Structure formats: C-alpha cells, structure tokens
C-alpha cells in the first residue's frame, strides 16, 4: 500500500508518516502542496492520499478537485485545522472520503485509514 501525504508543514508530514509507519504503512511518499502532490501522483502507484487543506501553491480542496476529475476511486483523507461544519461539507462535496481535524491522536488516524481501506 503506497500512501501519498500532502502537507506544507514538514513537522506534520513527519508526524503523519511516523503514525502510518506505526500502524504498518511504511511505503509513503510526501509532497509539500497540492501541485507537488499531483506530480507525485502522476508518477503512479499511489493507492491512498492523506492531505492537508491550507497550503501554498495549491490548497487541499483544489488538489482534491483535480484528483477527483480523473480518479473517482482513490481513497482521500483530509487532515486539517479547518473545523467549521461548512468546511467539512465542502471537503466531502469535493470528493474527500473522510475528515480528521488537527490535532489528532494516532488512534484516530488509524481508525480513519482502516475504515477507508476496509
């Protein structure tokens, strides 16, 4: 299982990658914003995406929209500080499969990932 982690914070990427590693997902590629994420995606082999929302260059919502225009099946988990109900609904309408609000516990990330892959 190859997972793409998109977040402009190197600290957050590291935390997410560490958590993924602890729950058994060690094949992870990372990108610092949506545009870089699309480039990684184009290289192929990605089976799941974990993305932030607030990023430079291309934010998470736009990134999800671009991904969904060509791929309707890849599971996408959004991990963001945006907690407003309207934001969560916007993300789901854009094509996100599940949503985690930062800060999160590793158990939550595990639960969401397993539910998407289950």
Q: Which residues bind other proteins (CB under 8 A)?
A: 7-12, 14-15, 18-19, 22, 53-57, 59, 61, 80-89, 92, 98-106, 108
Q: Output 54 or 70, the one with its CB closest to other proteins.
A: 54
| Smallest distance from other proteins to CB 24, Å | 14
| Smallest distance from other proteins to CB 66, Å | 15
Q: Output 45 or 101, the one with its CB closest to other proteins.
A: 101
Alpha carbons 41 and 83: distance in angstroms, whole number: 27
Long-range contacts of 35-42 (CB under 8 A, 24+ apart): 35/63, 36/6, 37/4, 37/6, 37/63, 38/63, 38/66, 38/67, 40/4, 41/4, 41/67
Q: Output 1 or 83, the one with its CB closest to other proteins.
A: 83
């Amino acid at each position: 299982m190859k997972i793409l982690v998109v977040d402009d914070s190197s600290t957050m990427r590291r935390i997410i990658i560490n958590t993924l590693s602890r729950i058994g997902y060690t094949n992870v590629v990372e990108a610092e914003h949506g545009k870089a994420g699309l480039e990684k995606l184009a290289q192929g082999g990605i089976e799941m995406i974990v993305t932030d929302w607030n990023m430079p260059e291309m934010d998470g919502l736009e990134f999800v929209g671009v991904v969904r225009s060509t791929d309707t099946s890849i599971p996408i988990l959004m991990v963001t500080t945006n907690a407003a109900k309207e934001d969560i609904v916007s993300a789901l309408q854009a094509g996100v499969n599940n949503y985690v609000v930062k800060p999160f516990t590793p158990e939550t990330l595990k639960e969401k990932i397993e539910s998407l892959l289950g």
